[in-house]
Structure 1
Amino acid sequence: MKELISMPLFSIMISLVAFEIGCIINRKTKLAILNPLLISIALLIIFLKCFNVSVKEYNDGGQFITFLLSPATVVLAVPLYKKIKLLKAYALPIVAGISFGTIGGMITIVLLCNLFGISKKLGLSMIPKSITTPIGMAVSQQIGGIQSVTVAAIIITGIFGAIIGPVVFKVFRIEDKVAKGIALGCSSHAIGTSKAIELGEIEGGMSSLSIGLTGLITVIIAPIIAKIFQSLI
């Protein structure tokens, strides 16, 4: 059994099985809080603990899934391409909204970490929390954060955004499809985009756009925000 678990292919298989179980539970219950990614993470943690499998052993196969994150992110350009005319029509408000949202999110992280006395290392790790994982890991390394903490923050942010986003739209009566897509993509990256695609094609296209622009703005602005954060501590 130990030999089977140590095989890289087993890690890939168990990850796919865990995610499929999460999808089934989500479809049956139709509860936003039971996100497939959240369920699969919980199942994998339980599995690794029960069978005493180290993270290193799991990552022998899990790293291949991580490798596929970048091309999977690129695929999100497809719904954007389908709505390119809509992008041209709302170019200025879209770019402005994404820019202010991204910068505002990073500044909020700095202020909250300073308010609650969170260590510099952890604070730096959470600055790129609202961008897709491959870009977030690179930014975290660049500004001196902890990549594993950054990945955890990105996942939590994405799941929380996908869950709370539709609720916020209802409470504040936000009906504009472009606004919904931009909000989900800017705040909760690929996970939010998967939710946006469920809402509609326009929402999905705008959310895909937000991922790219949010990542670009974060890469440029994050080092500046990081220096400000370091000066406050």
Structure 2
Amino acid sequence: MIEALTNNHLFGILLTVGLFYGGMWLRNYFRKNWINPLLISIFVIVVLLQLAHIPYEQYMQGAGIIHDFLGPVTVVLALPLYRQRRLLVKYKLAIISGIVSGVLASLVSVLLLGRVFGLNDMLERSLLPHSITTPIGIALSNDIGGIEGITVVSIILTGLIGASMASVIFRLLRITHPIAKGLGLGTAAHAIGTSKAIEMGETEGAVSSLSIGVAAIITVVLVAIMQIAGWY
């Protein structure tokens, strides 16, 4: 009976959606921003699949349907961008400079920490795309000789940590402007950070949505320049 249940497409869908909403309930109940529904879902699913000896392929029969919608659903991010277009134009210089600064900080920190801890070139290349959205990060990692699995894990962890710690960091550094919040989340924590930015407000969500795409483009260009210059 258990095998029949796990072979059903609904198993992956209901498990994923149910755990995510369960994580949201826990966060709202305890009123703690660091309780991340996505992190809870990932942890419980991994443990459950391992303990119950459920093949990942069986789980993805249903969960893969949710995965396939991730690309098209990003179109929804265009709505807050359109609504906040005048504000985005007004702060265009601050937005562009903020994204460029964030991308540079991301790349330089990986290279510097790589040198300090003695990471090999392949591991460094795998970590360089850690602050951009997953599809572009995977493609970039493959192009520069990185390890796709490490890149995916680093991207997910970066987004989870960024989204979970955002409120605390903003409060400690006294960052209150919605443009600044959106820039920080979108540039550093990509799509997961953007989901947090949307919770904070429409302006934060719009700026974060814009930051994802621009940061990814700038990252690809800068990594190409670094590779040509032989910096890694």
TM-score (norm 1): 0.90
Query: CA 1:24–1:157 in 2, change beyond 3 Å: closer, same or farther?
Result: same
Counterpart residue number, 2:213: 212
Deviates more, 1:194-203 or 1:204-213: 194-203
Structure 1 CA distance for aligned equivalents of residues 118 and 228 of structure 2: 17
Q: Check the 8 A contact 2:33/2:167 in 1, yes or no.
A: no
Is 1:35 equivalent to 2:36 in the alignment?
yes
Is 1:123 equivalent to 2:124 in the alignment?
yes
Query: CA 1:131–1:231 in 2, change beyond 3 Å: closer, same or farther?
Result: closer
Alignment of 1:110-189 (within 5 A): 110-189=111-190
Query: CA 1:159–1:60 in 2, change beyond 3 Å: closer, same or farther?
Result: same
Query: CA 1:95–1:112 in 2, change beyond 3 Å: closer, same or farther?
Result: same
User: What SS does the aligned partner of 1:43 have?
Assistant: helix
Query: CA 1:46–1:224 in 2, change beyond 3 Å: closer, same or farther?
Result: same
Structure 2 CA distance for aligned equivalents of residues 76 and 158 of structure 1: 17
Structure 2 CA distance for aligned equivalents of residues 149 and 66 of structure 1: 19
Query: CA 1:226–1:115 in 2, change beyond 3 Å: closer, same or farther?
Result: farther
Query: CA 1:123–1:8 in 2, change beyond 3 Å: closer, same or farther?
Result: farther
Gaps spanning 5+ residues in structure 2: where?
none
Structure 1 CA distance for aligned equivalents of residues 9 and 144 of structure 2: 32
CA deviation after TM superposition for structure 1 residue 80, in Å: 1.3
Q: Check the 8 A contact 2:126/2:147 in 1, yes or no.
A: yes
Structure 1 CA distance for aligned equivalents of residues 25 and 160 of structure 2: 17
Q: Partner letter of residue 33 of structure 1?
A: W
Structure 2 CA distance for aligned equivalents of residues 123 and 65 of structure 1: 31
Counterpart residue number, 1:66: 67
Query: CA 1:53–1:126 in 2, change beyond 3 Å: closer, same or farther?
Result: same
Query: CA 1:2–1:73 in 2, change beyond 3 Å: closer, same or farther?
Result: same
Q: Check the 8 A contact 1:69/1:133 in 2, yes or no.
A: no
Query: CA 1:226–1:64 in 2, change beyond 3 Å: closer, same or farther?
Result: farther
CA deviation after TM superposition for structure 1 residue 226, in Å: 5.1
Q: Percent identity?
A: 42
Structure 1 CA distance for aligned equivalents of residues 200 and 34 of structure 2: 17
Alignment of 1:52-63 (within 5 A): 52-63=53-64
Q: Partner letter of residue 165 of structure 1?
A: A
Query: CA 1:227–1:22 in 2, change beyond 3 Å: closer, same or farther?
Result: farther
Q: Check the 8 A contact 1:162/1:192 in 2, yes or no.
A: yes
Structure 1 CA distance for aligned equivalents of residues 147 and 141 of structure 2: 6
Q: Aligned residue pairs: how many?
A: 231
Is 1:10 equivalent to 2:11 in the alignment?
yes
Structure 2 CA distance for aligned equivalents of residues 118 and 16 of structure 1: 37
CA deviation after TM superposition for structure 1 residue 7, in Å: 3.5
Residues 181-203 of structure 1 deviation map (CA, whole Å, 9 limit, x = unaligned) = 11111111111112112222111
